[in-house]
Chain A
Amino acid sequence: MAKEKNQRKSPDETQYQAIQQEKEIKRPIIQNCIKAFFVGGLICLIGQVITTFYIYFFDFTEQTAGNPTVATIIFITMLLTGFGLYDKIGQFSGAGSAVPVTGFGNSVISSAIEHRTEGFILGVGANMFKLAGPVIVYGVFAAFVIAIIKTILMKWMGL
């Protein structure tokens, strides 16, 4: 059905598409990039401050401070998402708040909150990774392939 619809376009439809293309708002790319730069940079700066805090006041090294830092940032994300502030930041900054782990955390937490009405098992539990799932799936698979290649190269080719 859908295919047929696409193939047979009525004159009205082609006209509509032309108008739509004409009227489509041009994305202000440079402005968006500047916003993304500052918001993204700021989030990383906050991350660095938290990392330094863990190094100086707790028993974490540069290597091990990464984990508590990520956990802390995601905790802050939970609060911001819960109060509806993260969406506002996201609208303003685009990739600036989506690319850091906070974006990952936000997508998990917001789908968890959103589907709460459908119950905790089928709602929260099943939908939590709806948006973040592909990131984990392809991240893990890509890492698997790369690690296999690297191991083979190192162990059997003696590189």
Chain B
Amino acid sequence: MIIKKVIPISMILFFLIGCQATSMEQPNDEEPSYTKLSTQNEFDQQLSNQVKEYLKDNKDLTSVQAVNDEEKILITFEIPHMKRFKLADIRKELKKDIKEKFQIKKVEVSTDQKVILELDKLEEEIQDKSVNKNELKKELKRIIKLSKKQT
């Protein structure tokens, strides 16, 4: 009877340990992917570019998006799946880091899939120059609001 109790539990344990082991075998040494936005725009994305350039060295990230207007910046990023357990901590640290490094007052950081999608779209629009200053500001505000929604 005891054996019957032990087997399923040990099966689960093996399974979990197995997963852990495979994750350690694949270190991620690729740089995060990002798009460098043109600075010859109606709206200067210099700051976003600097942030991306800075985050390029961060091996934890697989991709980075960032858009700013004159007072705030929204940064989104993705990390390797096995590190997602620590996602909240990484997010917090990155926010603090950027705030200190670049002396920006309003830094918003998100890792939400939806926010990444929306910000990606906004980056593309900036690249295509299909948004003007006001639209960008409005859109950025909307995305930040979306990222803070709880229910």
Query: Which A residues lie at the B interface, using CB under 8 A?
Result: 29-30, 33, 52, 55-56, 59-65, 67
Contacts and interface: CB of A to CB of B under 8 A. Distances in A.
A62 B4 contact: no
A59 B114 CA distance: 8
Contacts of B151: 63-64, 67
B84 to A, nearest CB: 11
Contacts of A29: 4, 7-8
Contacts of B113: 52, 55, 61-62
Task: Give the interface SS of chain B, mostly helix, strand, loop or mixed.
Answer: helix
Contact of A56 (B112, B117, B147): B117
Given A33-B11, A62-B114, 4 more contacts: A55-B113, A61-B112, A62-B112, A63-B149
Given A55-B113, A67-B151, A61 B7 contact: no
B146 interface: yes
Interface size class of B (residues with CB under 8 A): 10 to 19
Contacts of A56: 117
B146 A59 contact: yes
Contacts of A67: 151
Nearest to A27: B4
B115 A61 contact: yes
A61 B149 contact: yes
30 contacts: A29-B4, A29-B7, A29-B8, A30-B7, A30-B11, A33-B8, A33-B11, A52-B113, A55-B113, A55-B117, A56-B117, A59-B146, A60-B114, A61-B112, A61-B114, A61-B115, A61-B146, A61-B149, A62-B112, A62-B113, A62-B114, A63-B112, A63-B149, A63-B150, A63-B151, A64-B149, A64-B150, A64-B151, A65-B114, A67-B151
